[in-house]
Structure 1
Amino acid sequence: MAVEVLNSGVLVLNNVWQVVDVCSVKRALCLLYLRHAQVVLKEGGSLYTFGFEDWKDFSQDYSSDSQIMRTITYKLRIPRIILLFIYDRIPPRKVRFTRRNVYKRDRNRCQYCGKKFKSEDLNLDHVIAVSRGGKDSWYNVVCSCVPCNLRKGHKSLVEVGMSLIRKPTRPNWRSFIKCNFAEINEENWKDFLDLAYWNVELEEDKE
């Protein structure tokens, strides 16, 4: 199965059916297998939930290869919504600082030359080099293609005559969820994304 599919988004609901996160397909399948979550499926205007074994049985007759994960003995349909069994809180609206999330914030675009690349052709660069006191933070780490990264090295942007296409910032949680939703174009997410709620501006965390 393509890495892109395993890293694509799954909407996560707490046990009172509120949106709390977007995780990867890989993470969702782990939660499902460990019995920490169940799959939510909408068909014919109704919502159905499945535990791991029920979802496995349900998946056997599904024919879309692009939405199927195959193992040696069985196949699993890729879930797009999961419901946690015991989690009833709403976590702080904060996007974790990870490589994957920096790529997503910058939309796989080199922040120096502006060109878009596949994830495997990008790396992360400190705008102010660590050797010069630069920090690991949303405000100092950007996506960079290999040629731009090599050109910049540990020097400052002024020293090498380069510039950023936009200033790096911490993405707010609401925008990040909407970005995931737009990428997947999963219609069933709309049942759980209240538009009035998402239009309320959230206060951005301070570093």
Structure 2
Amino acid sequence: MVESEVAVPEQANKLLLECPVLVLNRLWQPIHTCSVKRAIRLVCLGHAQIVQTDGDAQYQTHDLISWAKHSSGHLSGELIRTVRHAFRAPRIIVLALYDRIPRKEVKFTRQNVFLRDDLVCQYCGRNFTESDLNLDHVVPRDKGGKTTWDNIVTSCIRCNTRKANKLAYEAGMSLLRKPKAPRWRPIYGKRPELSEDESWAQFLQPDRERVRVSG
């Protein structure tokens, strides 16, 4: 089967084809994300297999035919239909040959700082929603601080107000961990609603960095 065989007359199925899929290299390391449509094409070409993320055979891999069999019994609205098959949208694929990890620099953005810090205020240690968080300059700008990975942390509004334009120790506060540029992960750069697939957690969480401030 080739990509052109995928027929998606329903709007819901068209949306399914644009959902993100986590891409693992052949060593099962996360390296990228792609659309469901792209993932299906890679599987059709034999460049990848679909990773099962539910049931007793979790993490078993499938080609498109065995994946279609595994998908039987699911609601039709959850299925992508082709000329020959109907199957669930994959969540994870593993590449057959590629075994490297691409070197990518994480773009400095507000959202990526929040992702690096897991939505945790780096002063009080509490978890918040994005709407209740700000970015704080560890060394204030009026003291020469720059807007860089190693000088910006996630801060709740209360802690941000308390610290104001002081150094942390001047405000009687301390950092949970020393900020630095994060190692790239597929989740960086994705909109939050596209980055919360629970089936990805097993592969993404081990990469989370915890660099504690010493002394």
The normalised TM-score by structure 1 is: 0.51
- The DSSP-based 3-state class of the residue aligned with 1:102 is helix
Find the counterpart in structure 2 of residue 62 from structure 1: 74
Among 21, 25, 42, the residue aligned to 2:30: 21
Among 141, 144, 149, the residue aligned to 1:133: 144
Among 26, 38, 41, the residue aligned to 1:32: 38
Q: Is the 8 A contact 1:32 1:39 kept in 2?
A: no
Shift, 1:87, TM fit: 6.9
Find the counterpart in structure 1 of residue 5 from structure 2: none
What RMSD in Å do the two structures reach over aligned CA positions?
A: 4.9
The CA distance in 2 between the partners of 1:171 and 1:120, in whole Å, is: 22
Q: Aligned residue pairs: how many?
A: 161
Q: Is the 8 A contact 1:10 1:22 kept in 2?
A: no
Tell me which amino acid in the other structure corresponds to 1:47: T
The CA distance in 2 between the partners of 1:39 and 1:28, in whole Å, is: 14
- The DSSP-based 3-state class of the residue aligned with 1:120 is helix
Q: Is the 8 A contact 2:106 2:184 kept in 1?
A: no
Find the counterpart in structure 2 of residue 161 from structure 1: 172
- The DSSP-based 3-state class of the residue aligned with 1:28 is strand
Task: Report percent identity of matched pairs.
Answer: 40
Which one has a bigger Cα radius of gyration? 2
Among 48, 62, 71, the residue aligned to 2:62: 48
The 1:19–1:46 alpha-carbon spacing in structure 2 relative to 1, beyond 3 Å, is: closer
Gaps of 5+ in 1: 1-8, 70-75, 177-182, 190-194, 199-207
Equivalent residues in 2 for 1:107-146 (5 A)?
Answer: 107-146=118-157
- The DSSP-based 3-state class of the residue aligned with 2:23 is strand
Among 97, 102, 105, the residue aligned to 2:116: 105
The CA distance in 2 between the partners of 1:152 and 1:13, in whole Å, is: 42
The 1:173–1:188 alpha-carbon spacing in structure 2 relative to 1, beyond 3 Å, is: closer
The normalised TM-score by structure 2 is: 0.49
Find the counterpart in structure 1 of residue 22 from structure 2: 11
The CA distance in 1 between the partners of 2:127 and 2:119, in whole Å, is: 6
The 1:100–1:47 alpha-carbon spacing in structure 2 relative to 1, beyond 3 Å, is: same
The 1:34–1:40 alpha-carbon spacing in structure 2 relative to 1, beyond 3 Å, is: closer
Tell me which amino acid in the other structure corresponds to 1:21: P
Tell me which amino acid in the other structure corresponds to 1:41: V
Tell me which amino acid in the other structure corresponds to 1:62: H
The 1:91–1:77 alpha-carbon spacing in structure 2 relative to 1, beyond 3 Å, is: same
The CA distance in 1 between the partners of 2:101 and 2:180, in whole Å, is: 24
Find the counterpart in structure 2 of residue 205 from structure 1: none
- The DSSP-based 3-state class of the residue aligned with 2:150 is coil
Q: Is the 8 A contact 1:28 1:79 kept in 2?
A: no
1:172-195 residue CA offsets vs partner (Å, 9 max, x unmatched): 569x9xxxxxx9465986xxxxx9
Shift, 1:101, TM fit: 3.9
Gaps of 5+ in 2: 1-19, 80-86, 188-196, 208-215
Equivalent residues in 2 for 1:162-201 (5 A)?
Answer: 162-172=173-183, 184=198
The CA distance in 2 between the partners of 1:97 and 1:39, in whole Å, is: 30
